[in-house]
Amino acid sequence: MQLKINILGIESGGKPVVFLNKADADEIGVTASGRVILKVKKGITAIVNVATKSVKKGHIGITEEVRLLLGSVPSTIDVEISAFPKSLQFIRAKLDGKKLLRNEIFEIVRGVVTGNLNESEIASFVTALHIHGIDLDEATSLSLAMVETGKQLKLGNKIIVDKHSIGGVPGDKTTLLVVPIVAAAGLVIPKTSSRAITSAAGTADRAEVLMPVSMTYDKMKKMVRKCNGCVIWGGALDLAPADDIFVKTEYPLYIDPLLLPSIMSKKKAVGATHLVIDIPTGRGSKVKTISEADSLAKDLIEIGKRLNIHTHCVVTYGEQPVGYTVGPALEAREALEVLMNESNVPDLIDKACSIAGAIFEITGKKNGYALAKDIIRTGKAEAKLREIISAQGGNSSIRPSDISIGSETLKVKAKNEGQVLWISNSTIVEIARSAGAPKDRGAGIIFNKKIGDPVSRDDILFTVYAEKSRKLSRTQDLLKEMDPIGVGKRADMVIRMIKDTPTLKRSFVLER
């Protein structure tokens, strides 16, 4: 059917979507959420929305995604119903609990990236993976398919290193130290990072306090060749783009079946040959037990072998925030202070040096931890970070005092004496987000006490920072209902008394 094109000037969230008048849709034989082919040179498959008034009979409304695919937009276009996608057959097979082959998985991932699958179909696939699980063959195939349907960074270096954290621990600004330490030692580390999804700050949010983090593929390539490293937001690079689409589906469902292929596809896409994965473990973290961590490490190392990525895992302590700050600006400031040797933050320094040291040793260097610590002590890491900041378009002379933080504050004091017995990571994240983090960069938390520290009555446990008073008021209300830090004498056997039916809150960590 030949239809006149109307450019609607609206975006459809990345998918090619068209709007048809109901009469035209009936004649073509397509319903809402069905598919049509726009008959141009290559052919464009688009998902259909049906309108009764906003699109006239004989016309087709196109979104910005379709306009960009068309390039030069003709006045009319031939439209016909699309064939039933093969990928739907494979999704149904997985819903029935069947194992998928590599070509079947590739067809599904290609359908996700091209927009040939709609939201409900992608959700069905993700749900099937959650219910029936994915074995290592499927995880490997998913990783490769996610790489092959996006861009790949090809630097040509014999060794390219990378690091990743499973996440789940607030305040983990380790990457801001590890990248300059490793790059200062002459290794290439093209670090792509995510923004916060469920946390108070993603690595890209922290880094953006110091420098721009959005850049083109070509600029990233030039920068890495110049500085040996970068810390940029991966969302603008089209590396493993299927992962970003899957994440949008996983988040509202509170499930994360694609953890393994998500991690490994992005490392493969940047050309990593050697990878160290941080697995924070303990109460309040994403991975609860050592045995869980060991099982996850086993799978990650095996997939690494299949993808030709030499992979080591570091199981780290995850029962409290890393360092003394949570929130983009506060964390960036703390990281800068450590690299400038102006602040001693033992757990942050230890974790960063352990991970950087593991990277050194996986690539053949000896005494990795000591080497990493020496690179901080001598100022080489600071100099490298400033070089990276400058190359990414930031102020290389930035000082910690130049980083602005929220002017609205709330001090939370201890109600009794003893010592800090536990810190609820999920509650800390909820408090920081209620104060405005990560959108408000200056919002967050500074801790005065951490696990094991002695506490007297009315000691300040932590201070909440906000940029807006109304958000701080919201935090005050939240703190009336929550107890983020447990203080007692030794390991008191009673944690809390429950007198009424408690309201159960789901704690879900989804970070990439």
Annotated active-site positions, please? 256
Whole-angstrom distance, CA of residue 291 vs CA of residue 311: 19
Q: Where are the alpha helices (H) located in 171-258, listed in sequence order?
A: 175-184, 203-210, 217-227, 241-253
Measured in whole angstroms, how far is the alpha carbon of residue 211 from the centre of its chain?
Answer: 18
Cβ pair 182, 260 in contact under 8 A:
no
Cβ pair 146, 261 in contact under 8 A:
yes
Secondary structure of residue 475 in the 3-state scheme: helix
Q: Is 401 exposed, middle or buried (0-12, 13-18, 19+ CB in 10 A)?
A: exposed
Whole-angstrom distance, CA of residue 321 vs CA of residue 348: 10
Cβ pair 392, 212 in contact under 8 A:
yes
Other C-beta atoms lying within 10 Å of the C-beta of residue 114: 16
Q: Which pairs from 9-12 meet CB under 8 Å and 24+ separation?
A: 9/64, 10/63, 10/64, 11/63, 11/64, 11/65, 12/63, 12/64, 12/65
Other C-beta atoms lying within 10 Å of the C-beta of residue 61: 22
* Structure tokens, 158: 């014999």
Helical axes 175-184 vs 203-210, angle rounded to 10°: 70
Which residue in this structure is represented by tokens 């920081």?
432
Other C-beta atoms lying within 10 Å of the C-beta of residue 187: 20
Whole-angstrom distance, CA of residue 369 vs CA of residue 355: 8
Q: Is 63 exposed, middle or buried (0-12, 13-18, 19+ CB in 10 A)?
A: buried
Whole-angstrom distance, CA of residue 476 vs CA of residue 409: 11
